[in-house]
Amino acid sequence: MHLIPLPAFADNYIWMLHDDAGQAIVVDPGDAAVVERALNERQLQLRAILLTHHHHDHVGGVAELLGRHALPVYAPVDDRIAEATIRVSDGESIGLSSPRVRFEVLAIPGHTLSHVAYVGDGLLLCGDTLFSLGCGRLFEGTPAQMLASLDRLSQLPGETLVCAGHEYTEANGRFAHTVEPDNPSLQARLREVAGLRTRQLPTLPSSLADERACNPFLRIDAGPVADWCRRQHGGASDRIARFATLRSAKDVFR
């Protein structure tokens, strides 16, 4: 199976998976033209669309793609995703025969209330919930919900490849560095990220093991992260308070 992040808009990735027989699926196709170009260049046939959440930059290309391809559109239960043909919810699995893929659906509310992730074949397709070195903004959910969602994702095997919806790694890394300047794994990842970005290459997918070692939002219980939260106004009375403190500090970080 081949995994390709297709850049779209300023910083989105539309994740494409295809097999050697030219059968493909895409996740969160915000821009149909980007997908069509990739299909044509590689002589692929689009067989399914998976959606993680309702935001326009993730679903905006679906209607146009459906006009040209007959295929199932998997999406969470949410009226705001009108183009869905198959609704998925937590704990369900979806299997396709061509390309041969199998994903488990995880409900991960926080960025939006109906946000889901797809986990399978060593991949985590997590939309705008987990980013490399960061996490999504809380547009609809509470800090407790988002933390529970990130805790769930964090428990997946370390070799899982994190396929996130945006190239935010460099900016996330600057914030992560202010929280944990002495974390050697983070320092190494920041050097790697700087090298990739100067060559205009994606910093994704990352490994979940790397995220657990470097991403402050998965390190709420680590000593230096807890200490940093304690020094902020939001405080650090418990892990939800630490997460809320960290997330609001990131919201205003420049």
Nearer to Zn ion (CB atom), residue 114 or residue 245: 114
Cα–Cα distance measured from residue 176 to residue 211, given in angstroms and rounded to the nearest whole number = 11
Q: Which of 28, 31, 128, 210 is catalytic?
A: 128
Q: Given candidates 28, 31, 128, 180, which one binds Zn ion under the rule CB under 5 A?
A: 128
Nearer to Fe ion (CB atom), residue 56 or residue 230: 56
- For 79, the token pair is 């009226």
- For 254, the token pair is 């420049």
Q: Given candidates 35, 106, 128, 244, which one binds Fe ion under the rule CB under 5 A?
A: 128
* Choices 13-21, 51-59, 156-164, 214-222; region in contact with Zn ion by CB under 5 A: 51-59
Q: Are 232 and 157 in contact (CB under 8 A)?
A: no
Nearer to Fe ion (CB atom), residue 9 or residue 240: 9
> Does residue number 167 form part of the binding site for Fe ion (CB under 5 A)?
no
Cα–Cα distance measured from residue 175 to residue 185, given in angstroms and rounded to the nearest whole number = 15
Q: Which segments of 30-139 are extended strands (E)?
A: 45-50, 73-76, 86-88, 93-97, 100-107, 116-120, 123-127, 130-131, 134-135
Q: Which of 58, 69, 79, 182 is catalytic?
A: 58
**Which element (helix H / strand E) includes 247?**
helix 239-251
> Does residue number 55 form part of the binding site for Zn ion (CB under 5 A)?
yes
Give the binding site for Zn ion (CB under 5 A).
Answer: 55, 128
Give the binding site for Fe ion (CB under 5 A).
Answer: 57, 128, 165
Which positions are catalytic? 53, 55, 57-58, 111, 128, 166
